[in-house]
Amino acid sequence: MSIIGHPFKNIKQKLAHSLGLPFQEVLPETMIQEAILAEGVQYRKRLFWPVVTVWMFLSQVLDKDKSCENAVSRFIAFLSSQKASLPSADPSAYCQARQRLPEGLFKRLFVGVAHRLQARVSPEGLWKGRRVFLIDGSTVSMPDTPENQAAYPQHKTQAPGCGFPLARMVGLFSLATGAAWDLLIGAWKTPEIKMARQLYEQLEPQDILLGDRLFGSYADFWMLQIQNIDGLFRMHQRRKADFRRGKRLGKNDHLVTWTKPKQCPQGLPQEIYDQLPEMLTIREIRYALQRKGYRTKSVTLATTLLDPKAYPKNDLTELFGQRWSVELDLRHLKTTMGMDVLSTQTPQMVRKEIFCHLLAYNLIRSLMWDAATRHQVSELRISVQAAIRHTLNFAPQLAQAGRRKRRVLYGDLLDLIAKEQVPDRSGRSEPRVRKRRPKAYPLMNKPRQELRRKLAA
């Protein structure tokens, strides 16, 4: 493996120690180099060597202007501040450098940052001494290219040439840190539960998994139990709870026996169905969800946390109430960071772009953790949007400052991030409507080429 050569040899160290700020503490150059070595990346002496390309890609996904032209312009501005020779503003060399990096490199990095952050959680930061993870899924769209359409076809209700390729994502998130633990990507037609089951192996014994009613099936409870993992899910609407039966543990709290489905459920492999036991003991809990101005709503949970003394009902309902944070995590990725509409032209680059967004998100979460630790506040109450904004504004100053000034600026950045706390909004409900009216143009229901021919006629 080579290092960068003349004429940029003299600024190699400056590039490595400046472009990475303010993420240098949580994603040092050594960690990137180890990932590059593990992925077997080979590269020649050139300006956009892998470490620089990773940092540039990170700055690109964090910025509102996610174009390659903007990323290269930012990089040229940095080189100018270092009195280095300036390359061409043509982004083709940088785009080729991104393409040369394997997608496994970005996944290895975002998972590594998540693990490093989780290791900093004290026993007091866990739930009853146990790690809790959240699982949920979503979709993202991408440019309408033949390659993207082949890998991630558009929705079947859209006419050919009128829709956009659509990818489904299912991810695991840490409750304690908010970081993305792992994520799978597939076509939108891939069942979400099928992808979720592939993520179970990323959990460890004694972990707890929270999810909505999609994940609380008989088979999923068993698949988690054989790994010594507990689940807490909202009960599926098709399964009815009768609290007059089973072993009573308290009001609307009992142990019941679930029996194996008579037929293999759709989407469950036959070999897994054949291994299912005939019966499972499940704890069912029902509680009332009260919101001011709304009718009282009844919620029923199913869990394998069977001991009512170790896991009281109120503690379980309070824990499940935090499942909503995974919705916020996905919203931060898709809305705050702009990952809902991707910009890359091929499936390989689409996956890299998603994983790079996850890396940037986990790095922001790490900064928030440092700020929260410094000021003794809750990391989960800090505004992600404000943390991104302050990070982007401080990055140019940090890159050009000396070592002593850099420490002062980094401390000021953490101070600002810690002050940006989101108020407690428990029970808040907002309508999913838009006040700003869109332009009164009709939707495209025919391919663009056909519409052009009609205009020309």
Across the chain, mean pLDDT equals 89
Dihedral, CA atoms, 388, 389, 391, 397, nearest 10 degrees? Answer: 160
Per-residue model confidence as pLDDT tens digits over 219-259: 999 999 999 999 999 998 888 889 999 999 999 999 999 99
pLDDT at position 176: 95
pLDDT at position 13: 56
- Give the phi and the psi of residue 19 in degrees, each rounded to 5: -65, -30
Per-residue model confidence as pLDDT tens digits over 176-222: 999 999 999 999 999 999 999 999 999 999 999 999 999 999 999 99
CB-based contact 94:71 (threshold 8 Å):
yes
Name which of 121, 98, 23 is nearest 359 in CA terms.
23
Tell me the pLDDT band of 433, cut-offs 50, 70 and 90.
Answer: confident
Strands 132-141 and 166-174: antiparallel
∠ CA 68-59-64 to the nearest 5 degrees? Answer: 70
d(CA 410, CA 390): 11
d(CA 191, CA 170): 10
Per-residue model confidence as pLDDT tens digits over 22-45: 787 788 888 999 999 999 988 877
d(CA 226, CA 233): 17
pTM assigned to the model? 0.91
CB-based contact 370:125 (threshold 8 Å):
no
Tell me the pLDDT band of 294, cut-offs 50, 70 and 90.
Answer: low
Tell me the pLDDT band of 166, cut-offs 50, 70 and 90.
Answer: very high
pLDDT at position 162: 86
pLDDT at position 283: 96
Residue identified by tokens 């293999």 is: 264
Percent of the chain with pLDDT over 70: 93
